[in-house]
């Protein structure tokens, strides 16, 4: 397909299936990557639409070296002081969600249509169906990580890829638009491509301060920079001012606090980070340490296996990594993945 063509099912009689399902049939990502990538990505196998969605296979647990306590010299043990009565720990008071302070921004539907994004309240398209399947897999993964006690990081999804032009922003916006329609979730789309932010311009929203301003200035409350939109369930956090030390700010202790406040009082909120290319800039690798899930966008016929391996190695510490194959061409025989893994045309 050309970039703007709708994605067609290889067989008209077959229920359309997700790109990622088809991709996993074509490529054995685990096998292809296992020789050099220490932590294998979780390759989702999406079911046909309308079929019950199986929970994703649990990712292999990160290998954590056992903590070895140093030998302690036996010292005379003083008798414990009389214990003061200890009050039971107070239950964490529920945090009230902070109301947005910025006015509601209108998302330009014509821009969405022109760039082949999902159009809210528009017709069901193959793109909206593809992202519905990707969304289901990710939301199941979010729930599994919440149940496993991962905490607020479970609510965060990083969209990343090896190179520019792979479709990170395209995927981040479409995924956000798809999640925004969920009854139990709202979505905050964060532009974390500080050098080349494009979320606002893609949606037709005017520029504002953003994440980097909040990281750089402790007096700035990041929640006040969130722009609510006229698409129900969708708000946006701009990248903010550009600095020469984006990565240092992102790696600072304040990041944890700023990111935590994005979901404070909002247990149903999903935070999606659009990011710069992993092989060109460090913010995505730094952000990967704060998120529960990374969606690695792979551009069919463009992303090399070497680049994919290198990119994966930079986010190896992330709890769940899923691959999204973008821009696949399908021939009627279903075999036109090109030379991505040297399998021939
Ligand atoms: N599957 C797709 N269908 C249509 N257009 C796409 C698709 N994937 C990417 N594009 C377009 O390709 C260009 C590069 O994608 P983009 O998401 O900006 O890449 P990145 O954020 O990884 O640099 C954009 O114009 C985008 O709209
Ligand atoms: Mg981008």
212-225 pLDDT tens trace: 999 999 999 999 99
Ligand 1 pocket, residue 168 CB under 6 Å: yes
Ligand 1 pocket, residue 24 CB under 6 Å: no
Q: Which two tokens stand for residue 92?
A: 């964490």
Please give the Cα distance from 297 to 281 (Å, whole number).
16
Q: Decide which of 21 and 257 is more confident.
A: 257
Ligand 1 pocket, residue 115 CB under 6 Å: yes
- Ligand 2 center–CA 203 separation, angstroms: 13
**5 in a domain, yes or no?**
no
Ligand with an atom nearest the CA of residue 6: 1
**97 in a domain, yes or no?**
no
Assign residue 210 the CATH number of its domain.
Answer: 3.40.50.300
Tally of CA atoms within 13 A in the half-sphere of 35 that contains its CB: 4
4-to-208, 277, 327 alpha-carbon distances in Å: 30, 22, 9
Ligand 1 pocket, residue 125 CB under 6 Å: no
How many other C-beta atoms are found inside a 10 Å radius of the C-beta of residue 15? 11
Q: Which two tokens stand for residue 315?
A: 């986010």
Ligand 1 pocket, residue 327 CB under 6 Å: yes
pLDDT at site 85: 53
**179 in a domain, yes or no?**
yes
Strand pairing category for 156-161 and 269-274? parallel
pLDDT at site 138: 96
List the domain range (segments joined by +) for residue 297: 19-47+102-326
Res 69 pLDDT > 50: no
Q: Give the sheet arrangement for strand 234-237, strand by strand.
A: 227-228, 234-237, 186-191, 269-274, 156-161, 293-299, 320-326
Res 100 pLDDT > 50: yes
Please give the Cα distance from 103 to 229 (Å, whole number).
8
Ligand 1 pocket, residue 196 CB under 6 Å: no
- Structure-token match 């990565």, residue found: 247
Please give the Cα distance from 158 to 287 (Å, whole number).
7
**209 in a domain, yes or no?**
yes
Q: Which two tokens stand for residue 107?
A: 């998302």
- Ligand 2 center–CA 165 separation, angstroms: 7
**239 in a domain, yes or no?**
yes
| Residues 32 and 343 sit within 8 Å (Cβ to Cβ) | no
Q: What is the mean pLDDT of residues 161-186?
A: 97
**34 in a domain, yes or no?**
yes
- Nearest atom (ligand 1) to Cα of 116: 4
**334 in a domain, yes or no?**
no
| Residues 300 and 328 sit within 8 Å (Cβ to Cβ) | yes
Res 47 pLDDT > 80: no
Ligand 1 pocket, residue 41 CB under 6 Å: no
Q: Which of 165, 198, 239, 284 to mutate to test the pocket of ligand 1 (most atoms within 8 A of CB)?
A: 165
Q: What is the mean pLDDT of residues 130-148?
A: 95
Summarised one tens digit per residue, pLDDT across range 229-279 is 999 999 999 999 988 898 899 999 999 999 999 999 999 999 999 999 999
Residue nearest atom 9 of ligand 1, based on CA coordinates: 167
Distance from the first to the final alpha carbon of the chain: 14
| Domains contained in the chain, number | 1
The predicted model scores a pTM of: 0.77
**56 in a domain, yes or no?**
no
């Amino acid at each position: 397909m050309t970039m703007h063509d709708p994605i067609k099912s290889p067989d008209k009689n077959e229920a359309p299936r997700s790109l990622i399902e088809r991709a996993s049939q074509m490529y054995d990502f685990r096998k292809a990557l296992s020789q050099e990538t220490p932590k294998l990505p979780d390759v989702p196998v999406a079911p046909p639409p309308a079929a019950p969605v199986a929970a994703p296979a649990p990712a292999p647990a990160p290998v954590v070296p056992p903590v070895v306590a140093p030998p302690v010299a036996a010292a005379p043990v003083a008798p414990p002081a009389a214990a003061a009565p200890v009050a039971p720990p107070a239950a964490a008071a529920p945090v009230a969600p902070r109301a947005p302070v910025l006015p509601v921004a209108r998302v330009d539907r014509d821009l969405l249509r022109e760039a082949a994004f999902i159009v809210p309240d528009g017709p069901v398209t193959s793109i909206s169906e593809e992202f519905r399947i990707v969304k289901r897999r990710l939301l199941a993964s979010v729930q599994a990580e919440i149940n496993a006690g991962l905490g607020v990081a479970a609510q965060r999804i990083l969209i990343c890829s090896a190179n520019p032009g792979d479709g990170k922003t395209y995927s981040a916006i479409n995924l956000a638009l798809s999640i925004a329609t969920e009854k139990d979730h709202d979505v905050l789309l964060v532009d974390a491509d500080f050098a080349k932010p494009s979320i606002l311009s893609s949606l037709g929203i005017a520029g504002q301060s953003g994440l980097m301003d909040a990281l750089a200035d402790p007096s700035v409350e990041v929640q006040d920079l969130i722009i609510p939109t006229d698409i129900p369930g969708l708000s946006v956090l701009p990248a903010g001012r550009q600095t020469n030390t984006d990565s240092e700010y992102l790696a600072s202790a304040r990041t944890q606090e700023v990111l935590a406040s994005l979901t404070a009082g909002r247990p149903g909120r999903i935070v999606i980070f659009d990011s710069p290319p992993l092989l060109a800039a460090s913010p995505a690798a730094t952000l990967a340490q704060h998120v529960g899930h990374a969606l690695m966008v792979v551009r069919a016929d463009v992303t090399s296996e070497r680049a994919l391996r290198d990119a994966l190695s930079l986010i190896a510490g992330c709890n769940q990594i899923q691959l999204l194959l973008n821009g696949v061409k399908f021939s009627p025989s279903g075999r036109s993945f090109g030379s991505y893994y040297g399998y021939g045309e």
